[in-house]
Amino acid sequence: MTSDKKVVLLTGASTGMGFEMMTRLAEEGYRLCVLSRSPELLCSDLLGGRWQDRIDVFGVDLKERKSVDKAVGEIWELYGRIDIVINNAGYGLVATLEEVEEAEMLEQFDINLFGLVRVTRAVLPAMRRRRSGVIINISSFLGRVGLPLLSFYNASKYAVEGITDSLRLELAPFGIRVHSVMPGFFSTQFARSNLQINAGIESEDSPYRSLSRRLAPKVLRQINEGDDPRLVAEAILKILKDPDAPVRIPVGEMASRFLTMRRELSDKEYERRVMEFYGIEPE
């Protein structure tokens, strides 16, 4: 079966921003092919939904190349095309560099960065042959600025920004656009279902216990009181509809505030502002 609608491959659509992206794009007439590690849960959310006839869900383990390749192959067999890739799957690891477990830091990169790479690699040969396509990586404002306790989440998103910049140049001769969207803090289920907290920093014996007690509640409150996730979906539509859209689009109040400070202030002054904002003080 071929499709006369543009086909979007989307990862990480089960909750929050991803779910908003999926339903908003379906509303606009796109055909959504969603890669999910829990397809049964996502399908149950879609039952009886208005756009269920425009959304297909494929069970995928983003940590396994064979699993990703199999799903991408099934999409090509169904629709004969993949026009757009939105790499949204990811989670946040709350840990200090000193206390993180080896398995935790490897898992953070395996999902946030290497999962994105596996999906993109799987679709590129056919996109190159067609000499068209759009790849949108959902990054974060934390891909350009650092926060304590989020070292590895920061590092994975910095890497996504680096991949975006290099890949954009690699694929320009083939007519393929590459962009990133950099959300701030949004009112989604991220704080409840997409944050993993290292056991070490919660221990009473942790040398970082005081820092985590001050910082973590503020960050969680900012997430829970954050912007409407539909703004991210609108940023994606801007990229899809405008061939001259910016390479990266910050979205939300926190992204705008922190990225502006990082761009305009010296390193020393920027760090002073962040420490003041979050109440970070010497022990």
Please give the positions annotated as active site: 14, 139, 153, 157
Identify the helix (H) or strand (E) that includes residue 283: none
- The CA-CA-CA angle for residues 233, 237, 238, to 5°, reads 115
Tokens of 171: 């694929």
Question: What CA dihedral angle connects 153, 195, 9 and 109, to 10 degrees?
Answer: 30
CA distance 219 to 100: 19
Dihedrals φ, ψ of 150, to 5°? -125, 30
Those residues whose C-beta lies under 8 Å from the C-beta of residue 66, and which sit 6 or more positions away, are none
Return the closest-CA partner of residue 145 out of 182, 109, 113, 116.
182
Angle between helix axes 209-224 and 267-278 (nearest 10 degrees) is 80
Report yes or no: 32 and 22 within 8 Å, Cβ to Cβ: yes
Return the closest-CA partner of residue 206 out of 93, 91, 100, 92.
100
CA distance 251 to 35: 24
